[in-house]
A and B are shown apart, each in its own frame.
Chain A
Amino acid sequence: MNLSAMRTYDLDEVVDVVVVGTGAGGAPLLSRLAERGLRVVALEAGPNLELDQFTPDEREATRINWMSDRFSGGDAPTAFGPNNSGWGVGGGTLHWGAFTPRPDRRDLALQTETGLGRDWPIDHDELIRYIVEVERTIGVSGPMPYPWDPQREYLDAPARRNAPADLVLQGCERLGITATDAPAAIITRDREQPHYGLRKASIDVGGIHQGDRFGYKATTAITYLPVAVAHGAEIRPDSMVHRVEQDEWGSVTGVVYLQEGVEYRQRCASLVLAGGGIETPRLLLNTGLANSSGQVGRNFLAHGAVQVWGRFDESIRGYRGYPSAAITEDFVRPEGVDFAGGYLVQSLGVMPLTYATSLVRGGALWGQELMDALDAGQYSAGIGINGECLPSADNRLVLSDETDEWGIPRAEISFSPGANERAIDDHAVGVMTRILDAAGARETRVLARSAHTLGTCRMSSDPADGVVDPDGRSHDIPNMWICDNSTFPSALSANPGLTQMALSLRTADRMVATV
């Protein structure tokens, strides 16, 4: 993004707020604080990318993913890199799928409902008010009426249906399952974005996760961050924070970061960590901060994301069109089940290398069977879930013995699905297989997968049970806040991006009210 005319601050100036990270957590907050007149500096570990650096080529496109190795273990090691991590000004929104269901009211009260997991210490109505604001700001398209929330309004018509969406909708109709076009942060009409300029309407390509050169997908780099810069925020790319400085009472006084191998210190009155579910707990564990509860790094959550792929007679070529153009929310609380929570279902198109990786890692294919499956890829349509994940103390992030290119210990994440996650997966595989069969699939194949990095610094009303309070403020350090998906107490069945942007505005408002 264009940073050439932005205001800059001296390192010795005590700015009001330093924000670490510029994705769905950091950016909305940064813009809100700047609009309210605060002097704010964002430190982004990755580079500032120009639009022509985005490419549909999946190997080259990893330049927008956090590719410095993380260690992944447990019974079902979750894949990092292109699967769930952002890199650069815009953070995870550079690569996100822009799939924007709203969080379900019941998911925020999971513990009250089932005795399992955690409730969110946040009022659903308040969260939805922020979500509506985010949807209007970034441009979310969707169908009206929305079957599971008829009063809901979307700005523009949904993205066009591609072949997988057609088939999933057909299959659902035949089974009596309600399904419709998915809400997505993909604009379907040209849009003048404040402080950015013209965003072109969707051109119906499938390379959403590889980044977008034309502005049809909302990233923070073309929505919130230009607003922030226009109101005096400074964004420093290539800046990896590795230390936090405190005064004798424990309050944060500044952060120390590395930029091209040189160490700098920015003084600040308040600090917001928004590096996401891996980098925020890694920084806290490495500095030993904000962990009186012992909860930093605990309760790592990854959404269940199992997929079923059906082979059809006609060529599907689901790399065309928005990949997840159909949704059903009928299984947020399925009837007659013995698990807590539920899942969203989406149709799936996919890019070829991503599909190959799923066949190898999730389907354990090799040899002629793999080649046959790759050749059949263009005749295949997918369907997948985003499923609830209950917190577990054993699923956690710790520091490894190996250090990375900045000299910081690498993160080591262990993830093993519990009985609830396995039950959701089983149920979903049954439902999705029936939908594809009803749509006329010749054969189906299940590909195991998990997605997103949540929960490692969860919010709680009780300081012993979490890392931050319901506003996002550290239980231990009064002028330090966390604003990213590490604060999620439970995973929710909705994909996290939209909810996180809403939480970001909410935390910003709470900060403004107190500083």
Chain B
Amino acid sequence: MSAPSFTVVSLRGPLSGLDDGTDAAQGDADDGTDAAQGDADDGGHHTAVRSVGPLTLVEIDPAAGADDIVVGIAGAQIVTPWILVVGPAQHELAAEVVDRVLAGALGVFGLAGVVGETDAASETLRHQEVPVAAVPVGAAAGAPDIAAAVRGLAADIAAWSPRLPDAWARVIASDRTDVAVRSTFARRALADDPSYAPRALSTAQLSLLRDVARRIIPQGEGAGIDLAARLDRMVAAGESDGWRPTGMSTDVEAYRTGLDALAGVWMRSAAGQDRVIRDVIDQRAPSGDVLTPGQLALWFEDARNDLARVWLSHPASLARVGYSGFATGGTGAEPAGYLVLAAGEREEWEPDELGRLAAAEGHTS
């Protein structure tokens, strides 16, 4: 299987070590040698774009500041996940760029991480949401250390987050999608931290919730979302659905007591776990001292619903179920709606798999 395509956006100049490493890592010679070179259509900004195998390298002149850098990134029309690479003196700049991208800047989607050279214990780079790798300042520019860090981070990201198809990334980046939606999706698309420390639950409760999530929402082949970690964050933040079964405590308490009750009957095997789940739903499972079997079942329905909503709100999940409705409203001259409503048909801007291309017949201009 070939390595998934990736883009590296460098604010610190060339990254030759990365080219070499990629070529070496890429066993298939056809892919590795056809490096293309050119200037992106970015309205006159100093941007150089090169393709090397599965990697696209985008060099952007940092001199113009964060706003112009973001415009330059948009001009590169990146549809793969991308990693921002910065030098030791560019950490503040990197943070400014990340802030703009996570705020939903037009034309930009897919920021997956930051690699920064550092000569001191820089906390600026430790952006609270974006995966970051720090590399000690070593040899000359383009040191292999940076290349290794980029490849390592790219591999981690590919292992820890589902991949959004390019066509869907293009729609999210486009002006069909509202700034606020793009911002929300930019955050949801970030890879989960495998060493996530729970905020609402104990480590044991989180671990059990991960087990439960695997049975309730089997994500299939490939990298998945850490639904349990996201749910823990959601519960800690008090995000509820506006109601509770009568007699139930707050979501945080319900999750703690529900998971503790479940721990008492949980099984090791997948088949055993499925049996437990059926018993809990049918109110036949022992529920411990705190909850009745009925209350355990009610909490468990909430938990199943929360897990489903957390999974489905990830842009890769929305792409999987064929939902393009996030790309409405938008920031274009006219509100973006649907012109084609018929079964089996899609519009030109929509990913191919959504149907046959139909002639637009709506009445919006």
Contact = CB atoms under 8 A, between A and B. Distances in A.
Interface of A: 52, 55-60, 62, 65-73, 77, 79-83, 85, 160-163, 166-167, 188, 200-207, 213-214, 312, 314-317, 319-321, 351-353, 356-357, 359-361, 364, 366-368, 370-371, 374-375, 377-378, 400, 412, 414
A55 B181 contact: yes
Given A67-B241, A205-B337, 10 more contacts: A52-B180, A65-B242, A163-B341, A204-B362, A319-B325, A320-B325, A352-B318, A353-B309, A359-B308, A368-B218
A440 to B, nearest CB: 10
A58 B188 CA distance: 13
A55 B180 contact: yes
Given A167-B343, A367-B274, A70 B218 contact: no
A360 B343 contact: no
B304 interface: yes
Contact of B336 (A161, A203, A321, A375): A203
Interface string B233-254: 0000001111111111010000
Given A320-B341, A357-B309, A203 B328 contact: yes
B318 A315 contact: no
B89 interface: no
Contacts of B335: 200, 203, 213-214
B249 to A, nearest CB: 9
Interface in B282-312: 301, 304-305, 308-309, 312
A312 B343 contact: yes
Given A203-B335, A315-B344, A77 B180 contact: no
Nearest to B340: A320
B117 interface: no
Contacts of B308: 356-357, 359-360, 370, 374
B242 A68 contact: yes
B216 interface: yes
B19 interface: no
Contact of A60 (B184, B247, B321, B329): B184
Contacts of A82: 241-242
Contacts of A351: 325
A316 B341 CA distance: 8
Contact of A377 (B180, B245, B313, B321): B321
B218 A371 contact: yes
Given A320-B338, A374-B312, A79 B217 contact: no
Contacts of B322: 315, 317, 377-378
Given A214-B329, A412-B246, A204 B309 contact: no
Nearest to A364: B281
B242 A69 contact: yes
Nearest to A81: B242
A367 B215 contact: yes
Interface in B165-217: 178, 180-181, 184, 215-217
Interface in B219-263: 219-220, 239-248, 250
Interface of B: 178, 180-181, 184, 215-220, 239-248, 250, 274, 277, 281, 301, 304-305, 308-309, 312-313, 318, 320-326, 328-329, 335-344, 354-355, 362-364
Nearest to B347: A320
B321 A69 contact: no
A352 B314 CA distance: 11
B216 A367 contact: yes
Given A353-B313, A371-B218, A205 B328 contact: yes
Contacts of B309: 58-59, 353, 356-357
Contact of A55 (B178, B216, B281, B362): B178
A207 to B, nearest CB: 6
A359 B335 CA distance: 31
22 contacts: A56-B328, A59-B184, A60-B181, A62-B241, A73-B247, A79-B241, A79-B242, A81-B242, A160-B341, A166-B342, A203-B335, A205-B337, A207-B325, A213-B329, A314-B343, A319-B324, A319-B325, A356-B308, A356-B309, A356-B312, A370-B216, A374-B308
Nearest to B301: A361
B336 A371 contact: no
A71 B313 contact: no
Contact of A58 (B246, B313, B339): B313
Given A80-B242, A370-B216, A315 B355 contact: yes
> Quick one: which of A65, A314, A320, A371 has the most chain B CB within 10 A?
A320
Nearest to A320: B338
A468 to B, nearest CB: 26
Given A72-B243, A163-B342, A357-B309, A366 B363 contact: no
B337 A204 contact: yes
A204 B246 contact: no
Given A320-B325, A360-B305, A70 B243 contact: yes
Contacts of B339: 204
B336 to A, nearest CB: 7
Contacts of A315: 322, 343-344, 354-355
A162 B313 contact: no
A21 B248 CA distance: 29
Contacts of B241: 62, 67, 79, 81-82
B359 to A, nearest CB: 15
Contacts of A204: 337-339, 341, 362, 364
A71 B320 contact: no
A319 B323 contact: yes
B343 to A, nearest CB: 4
